[in-house]
Amino acid sequence: MKPLFRLFAAVFAAAFALMYLASYLNTSEGYTGENTLTVYNWGDYIDPELLTKFEEETGIKVIYQTFDSNEAMMTKISQGGTTFDVAVPSEYALSKMKDEGLLLPIDPVRLPNLKHINPRFLDLSFDPGNKYSVPYFWGTVGIIFNPDLLEEGKTFTSWNDLWDEKLENQILLVDGAREVMGMGLNSLGYSLNDRDEAHLQEAKAKLDTLTPNVKAIVGDEIKMLLANEEAAVGVVWSGDASEIMDENDKLDYVVPEEGSNLWFDNMVIPKTAHNIEGAHAFINFMLDPEVAAQNAEYVGYSTPNESAMEFLPEEISGDKRFYPDPELTEKLEVYENLGKRMLSHYNELFLEFKMHRK
C-alpha cells in the first residue's frame, strides 16, 4: 500500500506543480486576461512576429489555434463549446458556413484598410458584397513539372500539353473532382463551372484519353511525391506548388493559358466570437499593406493586397507564376456553388474517370 500511495502522491504533486507552472506562464503571457482574441487559422499560416506586433499595437492578447482542414474547423465551430473570434476558411467552406448561419456579418466601417485589397478579389460569387469575409490569401490550380525528368526543353503552357504521348505514366493528379473535371473543361475551352451535360460528357471523354499518362491520383502526399521526384508532372494548387518548390527548387510551376481555378482563403468572424471589436481590429491589422507583405513573404502564398505589392521584394511580386498578368487572371474562375445535384454529377464523372482502364 505504501509505495502505491507514495507514487500517487508524487504523481499528483508533480501534476499540480506543472499545472501551476503552466498557469503562471499563461498569466505572464497574458493569455488569461479579459482582453484576448482567439484566432483559428491553418497551421503555420501566419508570420508569428505579426502576432507579437499586433499585441504590442493594440494591447489585445492573441490566443492562436490551428487546424488542418476546413472540415475539422467547421465541425469545431458548428459544435460550439469554443469561442473563436477569427477563422480562415477556404471559399467553398465559407459559403457552407454562411448557409448554415455560422458567421457574423463584417462591419466594413471598422475595416479602413479594406481599400488596399485589389477590387478584382472582392465581391465574388462565394460571398457577394463581402458581407462575411475578407480575402487572406489566394492562388490558382496549375501544372508543376520537373525539367530534369522530362526531355530537354519540354515546357507547359496549355492544359493540352498534358496529353503529350511522351508523358506516359508521368502525371500525378490531386484527388479532387472539381479540380480534375475543371482541368478537362478548361482544356476544351469551357468554363470550369459548366453545367451543360454535353460539355461535361465531352470533358469526361477527353479525360479518359489522359489515363495512360496518369501515374496516380493522390491526396496530400502529392507534395512529398513530387518533391522526391517520384513523378515528373503534377496538377496541384499553387500553394502546394510553392511548398514543393521550397523543398526541391528544380521544379517549376505554370498556370495554363486557357485559365484555371482561382481559390481563396478568407478571414471570417464565426458566430461564437466573443471579442467582435478585437476581431475587426485583427482583420484590419492583417489588411495593412506592410503587414500583408511581411506575411506573404513568410507564408509564400499570393496576397490579394494591392498596396502590399510595393513592399514585397521584386522576386516575389514579379513572379508571374504566383502573380500572373492581368490577361491571364481575367480567365481565372472561382468555383461556383453548383448545387447538390450538379456537384454529385461532377463527382460521379470523376469517379468514372478514376475507374477508367488504360
Partner 1 sequence: MKTRWKVSNLYLIAVFVILYAPILYLAYYSFNSGGSMHEFEGFTLEHYAEVFQDTRLLIIVLNTLVIALLSSALATIIGVAGALFIHRVRRHTTKQTLLTLNNVLIVSPDVVIGASFLILFTIAGIKLGFTSVLLSHIAFSVPIVVLMVLPKLQEMSPTLVDAAEDLGATRWDVLTKVVLPFIRPGIFAGFFMALTYSLDDFAVTFFVTGNGYATLAVEIYSRARQGVSLSINALSTLIFLFTLLLVLGYYAVNRRGAAKAKTLAEGVRP
- Using CB under 8 A, list all residues that contact partner 1: 1, 3-4, 7-8, 11-12, 14-15, 18-19, 21-22, 25-26, 29, 31, 36, 38, 42-45, 63-68, 72, 75-76, 79-83, 243, 246-247
User: Strand runs (DSSP E) across the chain, as ranges?
Assistant: 36-42, 61-67, 86-87, 103-104, 133-145, 171-174, 214-218, 233-237, 252-254, 262-270
For residues 185 and 192, the answer to whether their CB atoms sit within 8 Å is yes
- As measured in angstroms, the least distance from the Cβ of 268 to partner 1 is 18
Closest CB to partner 1 among 3 and 119? 3
Closest CB to partner 1 among 8 and 115? 8
User: Which residues, 6 or more positions from 93, have their beta carbon under 8 angstroms from its beta carbon?
Assistant: 70, 71, 73, 74
- As measured in angstroms, the least distance from the Cβ of 82 to partner 1 is 4
Closest CB to partner 1 among 46 and 185? 46
- As measured in angstroms, the least distance from the Cβ of 67 to partner 1 is 6
User: Strand runs (DSSP E) across 245-303, as ranges?
Assistant: 252-254, 262-270
At position 309, the amino acid (one-letter code) is M
- As measured in angstroms, the least distance from the Cβ of 245 to partner 1 is 12
235 three-class SS: strand
* Grid-cell match 507547359, residue found: 156
- As measured in angstroms, the least distance from the Cβ of 330 to partner 1 is 30
Torsion of Cα atoms, 247 then 250 then 255 then 256, to 10° = -140
Closest CB to partner 1 among 123 and 247? 247
Closest CB to partner 1 among 46 and 106? 46
From the centroid of its chain, how far is CA 136?
9
- As measured in angstroms, the least distance from the Cβ of 76 to partner 1 is 7
> Nearest Cα to 150, choosing from 167, 137, 165?
167
Q: Measured on CA atoms in the order 259, 174, 90, 202, is the torsion positive or negative?
A: positive
**132 marked among binding-site residues:** no
Closest CB to partner 1 among 1 and 198? 1
Binding residues for spermidine: 92
What residues are designated binding site? Answer: 92
